[in-house]
Amino acid sequence: MSPKTLYDKIWDAHVAHEAEDGTCLLYIDRHLVHEVTSPQAFEGLRMTGRSVRAPDKTIAVPDHNVPTTPGREDPKNMTEDSAIQVAALDKNAKEFGIHYYPVSDVRQGIVHIVGPEQGWTLPGMTVVCGDSHTATHGAFGALAHGIGTSEVEHVLATQTLIQKKSKNMKVEITGKLRPGVTAKDITLSVIGHTGTAGGTGYVIEYCGEAIRDLSMEGRMTVCNMAIEGGARAGLIAPDEKTFEYCKGRPHAPKGAQWEAAMAWWKTLYSDDDAHWDEIITIKGDEIAPVVTWGTSPEDVLPITATVPSADDFDGGKVGAAQRSLDYMGLTPGTPLSEVEIDTVFIGSCTNGRIEDLRAAAEILKGKKKKDGLRAMVVPGSGLVRAQAEEEGLADIFKEAGFEWRLAGCSMCLAMNPDQLKPGERCAATSNRNFEGRQGRGGRTHLMSPAMAAAAAITGKLTDVRELI
Amino acid sequence: MDKFTTLTGIAAPMPLINIDTDMIIPKQFLKTIKRSGLGVNLFDEMRYDDDGKEIPDFVLNKDAYREAEILVAGENFGCGSSREHAPWAIKDFGIRCVIAPSFADIFYNNCFKNGILPIALPQEQVDALMKDAEKGANARMTIDLDAQTVTTSDGESFSFEVDAFKKRCLMEGLDDIGLTMEKAGSIDRFETQAEQARPWV
């Protein structure tokens, strides 16, 4: 048998039909659904008299547009449009008989945090969702990617997607990370290296010692941002850490089925002589704590650097960099560590898991946020929130002056009332620094939870290594 | 779905790279549960000021381009979120074709589901089309999907690639869910086999 990559193996195990031109129907094992990109798809089913083919493989949770303040179980405490979208999801979940975690359920949270937490996401699966950060689930060695609403409807109706195979890219992070450097710094540094279109047409497999050393939470952070590099999906081969994370989760297999699953999962790795269309190698010990300076996730620099000038770039990037600098209100040559911020946001599907909250709390313990700064922590799920309270992390955040919110996407995409005002500058643990992303005119600097915590204390972008 | 065969129309130039889906349709317009009515908010934050007034410099606010049916843009068009509201807004405005050196994967796929043709061409050819688009309303480009060509107002023609299956769906306005359902037998067989091989799924 010819050697295969991990992607090849998962792909081959899910082809339900292949046409002569290579167009395939890829079978979908898990379909995650949220309130913003699904109403039109369910409406489409109704209009055509179609049903959900595999409701037991379909899991819904409202996250994008829900408030993160108390009392939200009552629709009266939501904005009218949020209440309409959440009510539509309630109705659709009930009518089509799919699994559902309403806002009143402690298990509710960001769809990409709930899936792994509940054991829906398992190695070797195909996972899709009407959200680009579905790439997160690749941390389990699952082929996971975002789809549009028409494709959501296609998966609901047929449990398959029309797909052509992508190319294989290997991104190897060798050696050990230095202190203060995290999974977020890895994933931002990779995008800084490849650009936001560098991964277009590829599925990326992340490997190497620095990736192996990461926890499952860290691996989810890395895969989460594969889409910011343009890749269809990011993957990490499952290992003992993966199996340990999955074991005992509510929807993970048990007993003899667990053993059978393990036997297959252990075959899920790229063969030594598999073919790669592209290989990128980055030394782990050369990665620094980074921040973004511009309005594209590829605008990444070590915190020790200075704001670049448009002249530092070529081609279309010259104009884009100038536009970014104008939008961000930054002057070339300014040390990044002198850039003052107004807001700190810790949360999102990139960095809203328990390990992220621990890392931020570690920096904030016994300290206060700078006066006048607005700071909030939005846990990724109700269960992450409960665990953080049990571990005393919530108290650390509250004592440091942070707002302690309920679970949701919140200020990552700012659909709900958690938004920046024009000109406000935010240290954010989320995934996109696009113009207007966190609110019209808002300025976003992406970074790790520890770096965001450090920025909260000093009121400026800060090298976390000075505080550890 | 609306068919796409040929199109002759005004092309609006947007010489900017990495035009993301937040620029195309900001999140406050994702609160709808419908697919229609988003055209007025296409490129909302670039198109209107804080008071909701048109920003005269923005290309689609210029008289020459208000009726644009084609958009010519920089590389990595449509990067960012999977929101299909982006192609819905483009279509609702009246644009049926976007030409750029490259597209983000999910956006590219979403276009075909909505009767929009995304065309990827080499940078120097996009540069030539951008120049043609800058001539304004009297210069009309022609797209011929069957022949897979874009022709400028001066008659210069460029060939483009498109997946044969996607081309057929667009030309015939096919409902791809219906097409897939014709293969239900294959899906049934796959499910039976997968149930035996991986019963824990």
A423 at interface of B, judged by CB pairs closer than 8 A = no
Confidence at residue B175, expressed as pLDDT on a 0 to 100 scale: 87
Comparing CB atoms, the residue among A16, A85, A323 nearest residue B31 is A85
Contact predicate B139/B153, CB 8 Å: yes
Confidence at residue A64, expressed as pLDDT on a 0 to 100 scale: 97
Confidence at residue B1, expressed as pLDDT on a 0 to 100 scale: 83
Confidence at residue A86, expressed as pLDDT on a 0 to 100 scale: 96
* pLDDT of A383 strictly over 90: yes
User: DSSP assignment of B136-180, as one string?
Assistant: -TT-EEEEETTTTEEE-TTS-EEE----HHHHHHHHHT--HHHHH
Q: How far is CA A352 from the centre of its chain?
A: 9
- The nearest CA of chain A is from the CA of B77 a distance in Å of 9
Element (H, E) at B21: helix B21-24
* pLDDT of A66 strictly over 90: yes
* Phi, psi for residue B67 in degrees, rounded to 5: -105, 20
Mean pLDDT (chain A, rounded): 97
* pLDDT of A10 strictly over 90: yes
Confidence at residue A377, expressed as pLDDT on a 0 to 100 scale: 98
Name the residue among A217, A161, A167, A157 with its Cα closest to residue A187.
Answer: A217
CA distance A297 to A156: 32
User: Hey, what are B182's tokens?
Assistant: 């014709």
Instruction: Please tell me the number of Cα atoms within 13 Å of B77 on its side-chain side.
Output: 30
The residue behind tokens 């979940």 is A93
- The nearest CA of chain A is from the CA of B92 a distance in Å of 16
Element (H, E) at A193: helix A183-194
User: Hey, what are A254's tokens?
Assistant: 């048990």
CA distance A328 to A342: 13
CA–CA distances in Å: residue B31 to residues A80, A108, A184, B38, B119: 10, 20, 30, 11, 29
CB within 8 Å: B75 and A316: yes
Q: Which of residues 430-459 of A touch B (CB under 8 A)?
A: 432, 434-437, 440-441
- pLDDT > 90 fraction of chain A, expressed in percent and rounded: 99
Amino acid symbol at A392: G
CA distance A57 to B137: 51
ipTM of predicted assembly, 2 dp: 0.96
User: Hey, what are A369's tokens?
Assistant: 């946020």
- The 10s digit of each residue's pLDDT in A190-199 is 999 999 999 9
User: DSSP assignment of A282-327, as one string?
Assistant: EEGGG---EEE-SSSTT-EEETTSB---GGGS-THHHHHHHHHHHH
Instruction: Name the residue in chain A with its Cα closest to that of B112.
Output: A150
Between strands A143-146 and A126-129, the pairing is parallel
- The 10s digit of each residue's pLDDT in A291-324 is 999 999 999 999 999 999 999 999 999 999 999 9
* pLDDT of B29 strictly over 80: yes
CB within 8 Å: B180 and A436: no
- The nearest CA of chain A is from the CA of B26 a distance in Å of 8
Contact predicate A402/A377, CB 8 Å: yes
CA distance A379 to A68: 9
User: Hey, what are A161's tokens?
Assistant: 């997607």
Give bridge partners of residue A291 from the DSSP assignment: A301
CB within 8 Å: A230 and B50: no
User: Hey, what are B24's tokens?
Assistant: 């195309």
Stretch B185-192: mean pLDDT? 98
CA distance B177 to B172: 14
CA distance B197 to B201: 10
CB within 8 Å: A16 and B84: no
Contact predicate A419/A374, CB 8 Å: no
Kindly indicate the confidence band of residue B32, based on its pLDDT and cuts at 50, 70 and 90: very high
Kindly indicate the confidence band of residue B139, based on its pLDDT and cuts at 50, 70 and 90: confident
* pLDDT of A1 strictly over 90: no
**SS3 call for A82:** helix
CB within 8 Å: A435 and B84: no
B47 at interface of A, judged by CB pairs closer than 8 A = no
Confidence at residue A375, expressed as pLDDT on a 0 to 100 scale: 98
